[in-house]
Structures are given as C-alpha cells and as structure tokens.
Chains A and B, each alone.
Chain A
Amino acid sequence: MKNVKAILTESIFEVFERMFFIFLEPGGRAPVHDYESAVWFDGPQRGAIRILFTRPVARLMVRNMLGLDNGAVTDPHVEDCVKEAANMVCGNFLVNLDASKKFTMSLPAFSVKLGPPPALSEGVHAFDFDCEAGKMAVILTLEA
C-alpha cells in the first residue's frame, strides 16, 4: 500500500483549499471538538474517515463555501458543509489511494461531539491541523 498518511494529508489539503478556501497547517490537538462527520468505506480496504471540527472552523467553512456573513450561518448549513467535507476527503483519499480499485462509501454521518477526542489504537491514525479559525482533526481507521 502507498504511503497512506501522505495520501490522506494531500487529499485533506486539496479539499479544504479548493472547496473551502482554508489553508491548513499541521497543528496540535484541540482539547474538545464540537462536531464530527464520518464516512465509512469498503472494498480492497475497509475503514472510516472521521473529521472533528471546532465550531469556529466549521462556521468558517460555511462562510467561505457559500459566501455568507457569519450571522447568516445556521446549524443546517454547518451540518451540510461538514458532511460534504468528509464525503470529499474520503472520496479523494480512495481515488488517490488506488483509482483502479472499486470502493463503496457510506453516506456521511454528522454528530455533535460531546467530550474529549477519541483515544488512538492500532489501525487508527490521527491528523491534527490548525487554520485561521482554530483547530480540526482527521481520524483514519483502517481495518486489518
């Protein structure tokens, strides 16, 4: 398998720069995230991609993607944008991983996060980022 971490990082940067006009840098873990969106995939490799957002980052995504003022951003906007972000990151990751292989992707799921970020274990890789609005993280789970 190619360098999975490099491929995922490239996919994350591509999606956030092109679709949300957000330029991410590797950063530290936020103590608490506010939202999570997740997509599960199946095929030659099974796993999931979960993206954890702080509220300011999620709202910046909406503002940049839809051209809205901060006061016009609603909870449904946030849910829709962060779900689409997970969908795009997962889709790009899988194509960049191996475009010749057929994967199936779930519809993106959304949840409001309560509590600390998940503990890491074998097969779970975390990527933490900073941007102008705060912190976010991407968790990749690969099943053996």
Chain B
Amino acid sequence: MAFNLLIVDDSNSMRTVVKKIVGLTGLETNHILEANNGLKALDVLGGNWVDVVILDINMPEMNGLELLKRMSEDTLMKNIPVVMMTTDASEAHMKTAFELGAKGFIRKPFVPEELRKMLLGVLGFDDRGDYEKRESNPDGVDF
C-alpha cells in the first residue's frame, strides 16, 4: 500500500532529512510532497490526495498550529493524520496540537527510528512495517 506524504517545514534541510528517513523505513511512498509554510501546505492539501502530514510549528506566513486549526475546520482535511515535528514541544503547544487533532508529536532533534516508529503507528503498520491485518478468515475456510 503506497501512501502520499506531505512534509511541512520551513527548513529545506529538515525536509530533506525527513524524506531520507521515510525512504529508509521501507514504507512504499507514492508521492512525497513538500511545503515551507502552512499557507503553501493548504494549497497542496487542496489539490492532492495526502495520507499523512508531518508538520513543523515555528514557520513564517502560517505556523503549524494555525494550519492544524484550518485543517480541523475542513470536512476532508480534518481526517488526515498529522504528526507534529517541532523543537517547540512545550506542554501548552502539545495540548493545543492534540486538541486540534494531531495524532503524534515528535521532538527535534530526533533519531530516524523515532520518526519511523511514529509514521508506522499513524499509518497503521506494525513495528516491522507490515500493515496490521485483521484475521479475515477466522473460521479457517479457504476460498
């Protein structure tokens, strides 16, 4: 199952690092989209199918919490899982982010394994990267 990822961070270097880590997870990506602030992210979200968003907070033009609020007010965007990835990890910001619907919080600096685990969890994969399937055939009948 390939997924589309949107990375929202004003640091080009950080977006590059995240793309590399995602490549190392073994997860199959269809498109990795990028935006350097919340406003541009809204444009991307409006024109593309996105399965998960990785979102910084401290950005120009529109910060991550403002984007999260805009997403929570949109009937389609509010269902897209968002992982906050920020240095600004105070309890107040985390509380606000979770109240606005964020599914995870990862604090910079992070090691690749932390981001990998967070992405796997948010996307519904187990720790090995296998999609968590429910037993579809509990009666043992083969079709």
In the complex, whether B31 has a CB less than 8 A from a CB of chain A is no
Chain A CB within 10 A, most for which of B88, B107, B110:
B88
- B residues contacting the other copy or chain, number (CB 8 A): 24
In the complex, whether A62 has a CB less than 8 A from a CB of chain B is yes
Q: Is the interface of B mostly helix, strand, loop or mixed?
A: loop
* Residue of B11, B59, B89 touching A83 (CB-CB under 8 A): B11
Could you tell me if A90 and B87 are in contact, using CB atoms closer than 8 angstroms? yes
Interfacial residues of chain B within 1-42, with CB under 8 A of chain A in the complex? 10-14, 16-17, 20
Could you tell me if B12 and A80 are in contact, using CB atoms closer than 8 angstroms? yes
Could you tell me if A80 and B13 are in contact, using CB atoms closer than 8 angstroms? yes
Collect the chain A residues with CB atoms within 8 Å of residue B93's CB.
102
- A residues contacting the other copy or chain, number (CB 8 A): 28
* 25 A-B pairs whose Cβ atoms sit less than 8 Å apart in the complex: A15-B109, A18-B110, A65-B17, A76-B12, A77-B13, A80-B11, A83-B11, A84-B14, A87-B58, A88-B108, A88-B109, A90-B87, A91-B86, A92-B108, A94-B88, A95-B89, A99-B89, A99-B90, A100-B92, A102-B92, A103-B90, A105-B58, A105-B87, A105-B88, A107-B60
Chain B residues packing against A (C-beta within 8 Å): 10-14, 16-17, 20, 58-60, 86-93, 107-111
